[in-house]
Every structure is written in C-alpha cells, then in structure tokens.
Structure 1
Amino acid sequence: MRLILNVIWLIFGGLWLALGYFLAGIICFVLIITIPFGFAAFRIGMYALWPFGSTVVDKPGVRPGAVVGNVIWLVVAGIWLAIGHVLTAIAMAITIIGIPLAIANLKLIPVSLLPLGKEIVPADGPQDRFGVRR
C-alpha cells in the first residue's frame, strides 16, 4: 500500500515539492553561511519525495546550534512552508483519494517548521525500550 501511495504522491505533487526543496538547498549551499539549512532542505526534499513509510524523530542530545538555526529558519522560511503545506493539504483533501496525500502533507509541517535537529527514519524502524523510534 505504501508503494501505491508514494507513487500517487509523486505524481500529484511530491516531485514538484521535492524539487523546490532541492532548489532551496542548492541556493543555501551557494550562500555558504547557510549550508546547515541546505542540508536540512535536502533532508526534507528526500522526505517529500517518498513520505509514506517514513517518520520524523528528534536527534538525541542537546543541540544549541540547532535551536538558534531553527529560530532563524522559522522566521525566514518555516512559517511560509507550513502555510503552503496546509493550503495544499486542504486542496488534496477535497477528494477521497487525496485524503492520505493531505495527511502526508500535514506530516511535512513539523519538519518544515523546525528542520534542524530532526532525523527521518523508517516508520517501522527499531524502537528503544520506551517505544520511541530512533
């Protein structure tokens, strides 16, 4: 089922969404000082390309640089990306077939708001003894 949903996602918006994130990542690498944002944009782009079967988790440990970077990202790009994902999810949810795609679009909001300090892992990946996926 994941394969079918991923293919439908890819056709109906996932490819363009991922290409947008990849373009943003390239621009961030060209600007040099924003290279950490470039890595985050590429990570989100890969997640946006094939979202079903993956989930976002926090990286372990304290990351003060990620907090500062996330605040900058939130102000500059994160809020606008989140609004775009919400609007796209509303448009996708109009049809019955689009409802899972809308849910996948909503899954992209947390990582598009605060991408630094996050990791994208398989949804059925290993868990620690408390049930937290790593």
Structure 2
Amino acid sequence: MSLLGNILWLILGGFVTGLGWWLAGLIAFISIIGIPWGRACFVIGNLSFMPFGKEVVNRADLSGQEDIGTGPLGMIGNIIWFVLAGVWLALAHLVSALFCFVTIIGIPFGLQHLKLAAIAVAPIGKTVVDRS
C-alpha cells in the first residue's frame, strides 16, 4: 500500500517538493557554514520523495549515543533553523495538509504533510527510517 501511496505522491507534487529540498541543501552546502542545515535538507528531501512507510526518529534514540547533531550544538542549530526557516516551512506544510484534508482521498497525503511539517520544525539530529 505504501508503494501506491508513494507513486501517487510523486505524481501529485512530491517529486517537485523533493527537488526543492535538495536544491536548498545544495545552496546550504555552498555556504560552508550551512552544511548542518544542508544535510537536514537532504534528509527532508529524501523523505519528501517517498514519505509513505517512513518514520522520523531522533538519531540518539536510534544509535543509543549522542553525536554533534543530537547534543547541545544540534539544539542551537535547530533554534537557528526554526527562527530563519523552520516556522515558515512548517506552516506551508500545515496549509498543504489542510487542503488535502478537505477531500477524503487527500487525507493520507495530508498526514504526510504533517510528518514533513514536524521534521521541518527541528530537523537537526533527526533521521528517516523504514516503519517496518
């Protein structure tokens, strides 16, 4: 079922969204100082291509140990991200989710936009894993 959802998601805008996140990641990498945010953009971009059957988890919970992105520096990075971009990106995904929730067919897509909104708020220190 997630394969069908991902195919429909790609056709109905997920491909463009993923490319947009990847482009933002490339721009962040060019600035050198934006590398942590660029990495986060690529994680979100990958999720944006195929969100069905995926889950966002904290890397510290997954590996059992903290790294630079899950510790205090990651928290500072998430605060900077939230102030500069995260709040606006999350709002965009929330509005998209509301439009999807208007129709019964769009409810699964709205749920995926909510997932993307959650990671857009604070992406540093998070990773995407298969739900199974």
Q: Which residue of 2 aligns with 1:127?
A: none
Equivalent position of 1:27 in the other structure: 27
TM-score (norm 2): 0.90
2:105 is aligned to 97
Tell me the matched-pair count.
124
Once the 2 structures are TM-superposed, how far is the Cα of residue 59 of structure 1 from its aligned partner?
A: 1.4
1:20 is displaced (CA, Å) by 1.1
Aligned partner of residue 57 in structure 2, secondary structure: strand
The separation in 1 between residues aligned to 2:129 and 2:103, in whole angstroms, is 29
Equivalence for 1:106: 114
Whole-Å separation in 1 of the counterparts to 2:19 and 2:36? 18
Larger helix proportion, structure 1 or 2? 2
Note the alpha carbon deviations across 1:20-56, whole angstroms, 9 max, x for none. Answer: 1111101101111101110100010000100011101
The 1-side partners of 2:51 and 2:29 are apart by: 24
Distance across 1 between alignment mates of 2:48 and 2:71:
24
- Which ranges of structure 2 fall in alignment gaps of 5 or more residues? 61-65
Report deviation, 1:2.
0.5
Aligned to 2:2: 2
Instruction: After the TM superposition, list the runs of 4 or more consecutive aligned residues in structure 1 that deviate by more than 2 angstroms.
Output: none
Alignment of 1:20-99 (within 5 A): 20-60=20-60, 61=66, 63-99=71-107
SS in 1 for 2:55: strand
3-state SS of paired residue (2:102) = coil
Mapped to 2, the partners of 1:79 and 1:20 lie a distance apart of: 17
Give unpaired runs (5+ residues) of structure 1: 125-134
For normalisation by structure 1, the TM-score amounts to 0.89
> 1:118: how far off?
0.6
